[in-house]
Structure 1
Amino acid sequence: QVIGEPSRPVLTRNQLRSDGDMCMYALTVSTIEPKNVKEAMTDPGLKLCMMITLVVNRQLLQELFCLLKNLKFDVDELNPNAMVDGNTFDHPLEQVIGEPSRPVLTRNQLRSDGDMCMYALTVSTMELKNVKEAMTDLAWIDSMQEELLQFKRLDVWVLVPAPDNISPLTLKWLFKKKHDEEQTVIRNKSHLVVRGYRQEEGIDFEESFALVARMEAIRIFLAYATHKSFTVFQMDVKTAFLHGTLKEDVYICQPEGFIGPDHPSHVYKLKKALYGLKQAPRVDDITFGSTHPRYIQLFFNLMESRFEMSMMGEMTFFLGLQVNQSPCGIFINQSKYVLEILKKYRMESYDPVGTPIEIKYKLDLDQNGTPVDATKYRSMIGALMYLTSSRPDIVHATCSCARYQAKPIEKHLNEVKRIFRCLRGTVNTGLWYSKDSGFELTGFSDADYTRCKDTFKSTSGGAQFLGEKLVSWSSKKQDCTALSTTKAEYVSLSACCAQVLWMRTQLMDYGFYFNMILIYCDSKSAIAISCNPVQHSRTKHIGVRYHFIKEHVEKGRIELYFVKTDYQLADIFTKALPADRFNYLVHRLGMRSLSPKELERLVKSR
């Protein structure tokens, strides 16, 4: 079924003339060039070839041949395991290890030579640079064919003569190796994408929009799952992008390596949206939970009746977050990512520090400072920003350093390195959502007056909780210049109110209708202004956008309470703090440090 002339590393069955040929056919050909035995033992094909070489007894060779012969050859054009010539290897059901829905097995789970053969046939650890290299590896050819068979099943395109005066869009193959939690390759995935950046508005597309879930919405769901004692599961929609119907006429070239010999000049006219198009984005990661396995299966069956789904089991890793579920609660962290970035920026051997930012604020625009590599500086900031999804303790320090990405100097880089040194000592720290706490929506608002030494603008900080579960936080330099501490606190209150109202809307979908939502502030004057519906000369200069909090206080949706600074939890998002104060607030935010052994002990407690 392969179109074109790919260089084939295996023999057809008609060409097999001996038992040894059959063994080599089943094992396929490895393109790896090992430098030593240790590297050769990492490749299943080479490993089994060495085993066969050591078999000098004819009887043992015959037994190995019989074992391989038990792997049946069937032809099915819709089988995702189809080989180059349309043949496939199928295990007998009684030989399947673990869950049958799992596409492949890791090497640690292989218990027989037949399993090792299946691993060699379905998974490749080869790093690819182009399609030419992919066509030399059977596993990647299998993956590309799986992608094209999905296109055929979903009726994505139709082959037509190339229209006049229209330049078809070109395609590109993308290759990705999917890993499990142990970073072992479990699947080879090929994506055929369109170079959508060559589309012209009004010709190839009109509107483009992508729905993106906010990280706060994901944490709200996890907090709700903890509150209801749900077990959270995850599933994936296969080829989700291909379910969108196109309104425009879009023509694309035939994919490289699969050009029809009968019509090499023809092009494909798209019926469905393809990866890379401006109008293609779709969401395909689904998380759901229930207290009973029966409802989990019912929901999966319902989704599978509409779409082709892939059940991924209990949620353990989602959008970069490690989610550890136990009978006591849910622990969210990014410890593996912390180790990766420490290694990437060569910070794994640095001495740890207790806080991410020093008490004496040193960051400003120093024109006389020694410049540093701006690309590396921005890369480090980006890595830390991604980490703030589960580490609110470094948010203020990271956002402060992020203001100087245009022209970073040496002292800015030193402050960034201090954050990494703080991470060095808190690798296993994350958010703990306990099942024992309540589910009331509350907020904390704070501000630090004229914190920025360059613009003399204040810094707003906010934290929102569901019970004792921290689900949202922020640290941001204010857009306006406040004339007093009161004005800075008032502006911060408005920002916190906006976030609380958004969360209130989200929680309506869960069946919660919150009113009189408590927001704690440590400024009595800012609370007085918010509760006073009358404008006067001392507040008329404040932007209209910040006065909307008065409306919601008057309607009873928001209720403001005074809290002493010692108990202001948002204090950590506005300023540098001493170690004892910092550690106290980190603990009050619900952050804990749990080692892998402690997490394993929590899971086993069920």
Structure 2
Amino acid sequence: METCLHAAFVSQIEPKNVKEALTDNCWIEAMQDELSQFQKLHVWDLVDLPKGFEPIGTRWVFKCKTDDRHVVVKNKARLVVYQLDVKSAFLYGKVHEDVYVTQPPGFEDPHNINKVYKLDKALYGLHQAPRAWYETLSKHLLSNGFDRGQINSTLFIRKAGGDILLVQVYVDDIIFGSTNEGMCREFEKMMKSKFEMSNMGELSFFLGLQVSQREDGIYLHQTKYVQDILSKYKMSDSTTYGTPIPVNHGLHPDKDGKDVDSRLYRGMIGSLMYLTASRPDIMFAVCLCSRFQSQPKESHMIAVKRIFRYLKGKPRLGLWYSKQQSFDFKAYTDSDYGGCNLDRKSTSGGCQFLGDRLVSWQCKKQSTVSVSTCEAEYIAAASGCSQILWIQQQLRDYGLNFTGTPLFIDNNATMSITNNPVKHSKTKHIEIRHHFHP
């Protein structure tokens, strides 16, 4: 019964254009809500267009907002600029240039049909909008006792005694947490005094990531996203594989192979790349297949579809962060040797842990051709060392200091060279990389 009542007040279908939206009361109400925010925040003024200026076009974007169960919870109509949560976050940012936009389609003033709106605040889609919003938000936070992160400028920290409050900003979404619940309530009150905000409650869904908070830890996964891309690329009913890629994959340019739709191929790769935010198990396979985006062949498409079939069999895999384990910081690196069939460059892999919690991972083809297994391992180690230094700096923003982080590498080739003096004269390039390591 509750679902039926909800559906009666929320449209389940996104309109294709404004003409279609104006026939549905749910979407008319959504558009009126958007324009009422403009009026409330003094976003614009209706004026005559000055000589020498061209107005920027506007259009409506319609979106059915869903939760992690795919249930439509809100109809969102947004007026955006043709230049391609905090409620209407960008509308708080002050615009310092003269910008004029056309009147909203379907909501033109019949008595001033030739007039345009002069923007006083930023509008979604305007190039200045993100900068203007961030400037407004950061000034408010800094004036209320927050410090900006030294490495991540979108991280804000406030300390009080032995407690800490962390605020992470991603465009118009804000997540925050503290060792003291009272600091969270104080932060919410402080934000609502300046901005119109809606508290989404305990973090459970953010930028496609599903967050399951439990007493003994936190589980991050993208099960909903996996289901969405399987459906999008018609792989929901496919057979499953136990691994994303065979050990001896043999992928190469395949110049004589049959061409496939490059746009479709790149779309599938892009979808998978976003999934690697919580699925390191597909990282290598996705990076390997991404090397053939310019001229994808049928053999490459088969490899990509195998990744989707693997996801079909393991849709709920994710990352577990336990509350009870230690916070020892350690890292691992490895590489293959001349594994790329395109140019015989090696691939570096690395991962970093806090205790047993995986916090960062990388997979990237090396920029130069390694002439030995040992050199390939040292290049991977140098890259891993750079990542360690970056993470150490980042953790200092959180009040954590790590020095002497152990880096575990495959050093069999190094030991072989050490035991063979004949090879020492050919290792200057390796010695240079060795001295990079702190």
The TM-score bracket by the shorter chain reads: 0.7 to 0.9
Shift of 1:288: 1.4
Alignment match of 1:285 (pick from 173, 178, 194): 173
Alignment match of 2:72 (pick from 185, 208, 229): 185
Alignment match of 2:196 (pick from 294, 308, 318): 308
Q: Give the match's secondary structure for 1:309.
A: coil
Aligned residue number for residue 398 of structure 1: 286
Distance 1:510 1:526 in 2: 37
Q: Give the match's secondary structure for 1:453.
A: coil
Shift of 1:402: 1.0
Question: Is 1:252–2:252 an aligned residue pair?
Answer: no
Q: How does 1:33-72 map to 2 (within 5 A)?
A: none
Shift of 1:511: 0.3
Distance 2:309 2:20 in 1: 41
Distance 1:541 1:439 in 2: 35
Q: Give the match's secondary structure for 2:406.
A: strand
Distance 1:335 1:193 in 2: 31
Q: Does the 8 Å CA contact 1:521/1:527 hold for their aligned counterparts?
A: no
Q: Give the match's secondary structure for 1:470.
A: strand
Question: Is 1:146–2:33 an aligned residue pair?
Answer: yes
Question: Is 1:171–2:58 an aligned residue pair?
Answer: yes
- Relative to structure 1, is the Cα distance of residues 186 and 261 closer, same or farther in structure 2, using a 3 angstrom cutoff? same
Shift of 1:297: 2.1
Q: Does the 8 Å CA contact 2:378/2:430 hold for their aligned counterparts?
A: no
Aligned residue number for residue 576 of structure 1: none
Q: Give the match's secondary structure for 1:330.
A: strand
Q: Give the match's secondary structure for 1:196.
A: coil
**Across the two proteins, how many residue pairs are aligned to each other?**
393
Alignment match of 2:435 (pick from 547, 550, 554): 550
Residues 306-364 of structure 1: CA deviation (Å, up to 9, x unaligned): 21111001111111111111111111111222222223333333332221111223101
- Relative to structure 1, is the Cα distance of residues 551 and 486 closer, same or farther in structure 2, using a 3 angstrom cutoff? closer
Distance 2:312 2:12 in 1: 31
Residues 62-89 of structure 1: CA deviation (Å, up to 9, x unaligned): xxxxxxxxxxxxxxxxxxxxxxxxxxxx
Per the normalisation by structure 1, the TM-score is: 0.62
Distance 1:401 1:291 in 2: 43
Distance 1:119 1:386 in 2: 31
Aligned residue number for residue 56 of structure 1: none
State the one-letter code of the partner of 1:143.
A
Aligned residue number for residue 87 of structure 2: 238
State the one-letter code of the partner of 2:72.
V
Distance 1:374 1:395 in 2: 21
Aligned residue number for residue 264 of structure 2: 376
Q: Does the 8 Å CA contact 1:490/1:526 hold for their aligned counterparts?
A: no
Aligned residue number for residue 444 of structure 1: 332
Distance 1:385 1:353 in 2: 19
Percentage of identical aligned residues:
50
Distance 1:125 1:337 in 2: 19
Over the residues paired in the alignment, what is the CA RMSD in angstroms? Answer: 2.3
Question: Is 1:494–2:382 an aligned residue pair?
Answer: yes
Q: Give the match's secondary structure for 2:351.
A: strand
Distance 2:300 2:52 in 1: 54
Aligned residue number for residue 162 of structure 1: 49
State the one-letter code of the partner of 2:267.
S
- Relative to structure 1, is the Cα distance of residues 257 and 364 closer, same or farther in structure 2, using a 3 angstrom cutoff? same
For structure 2, the 5+ residue unaligned runs are: 134-170, 418-423
Q: How does 1:192-591 map to 2 (within 5 A)?
A: 192-197=79-84, 236-281=85-130, 282=133, 283-291=171-179, 293-523=181-411, 538-541=426-429, 547=433, 550-551=435-436, 553=438
State the one-letter code of the partner of 2:209.
L
Question: Is 1:124–2:124 an aligned residue pair?
Answer: no
Distance 2:312 2:11 in 1: 34
State the one-letter code of the partner of 2:116.
V
State the one-letter code of the partner of 1:399.
C
Shift of 1:267: 1.2
Q: Does the 8 Å CA contact 2:326/2:355 hold for their aligned counterparts?
A: yes
Q: Does the 8 Å CA contact 2:86/2:172 hold for their aligned counterparts?
A: yes
- Relative to structure 1, is the Cα distance of residues 552 and 365 closer, same or farther in structure 2, using a 3 angstrom cutoff? closer
Q: Does the 8 Å CA contact 1:246/1:271 hold for their aligned counterparts?
A: yes
Aligned residue number for residue 151 of structure 2: none
Shift of 1:294: 3.6
Q: Does the 8 Å CA contact 2:18/2:60 hold for their aligned counterparts?
A: yes
Q: Give the match's secondary structure for 1:310.
A: coil
| Bigger Rg, structure 1 or 2 | 1
Distance 1:517 1:369 in 2: 47
- Comparing 252-261 with 306-315, greater Cα deviation is found at 252-261
State the one-letter code of the partner of 2:47.
V
Shift of 1:296: 2.8
State the one-letter code of the partner of 1:550.
H
Per the normalisation by structure 2, the TM-score is: 0.84
Distance 1:346 1:134 in 2: 29
- Comparing 261-270 with 303-312, greater Cα deviation is found at 261-270
Residues 197-248 of structure 1: CA deviation (Å, up to 9, x unaligned): 4xxxxxxxxxxxxxxxxxxxxxxxxxxxxxxxxxxxxxx2111111211121
Distance 2:329 2:92 in 1: 38
Q: Does the 8 Å CA contact 1:445/1:520 hold for their aligned counterparts?
A: yes
Aligned residue number for residue 68 of structure 1: none
State the one-letter code of the partner of 1:379.
G
Distance 2:187 2:335 in 1: 45
Aligned residue number for residue 108 of structure 1: 2
Shift of 1:289: 2.0
Q: Does the 8 Å CA contact 2:254/2:299 hold for their aligned counterparts?
A: no
Aligned residue number for residue 161 of structure 2: none
Distance 2:91 2:386 in 1: 37
For structure 1, the 5+ residue unaligned runs are: 1-106, 111-115, 198-235, 530-535, 554-606
Aligned residue number for residue 209 of structure 1: none
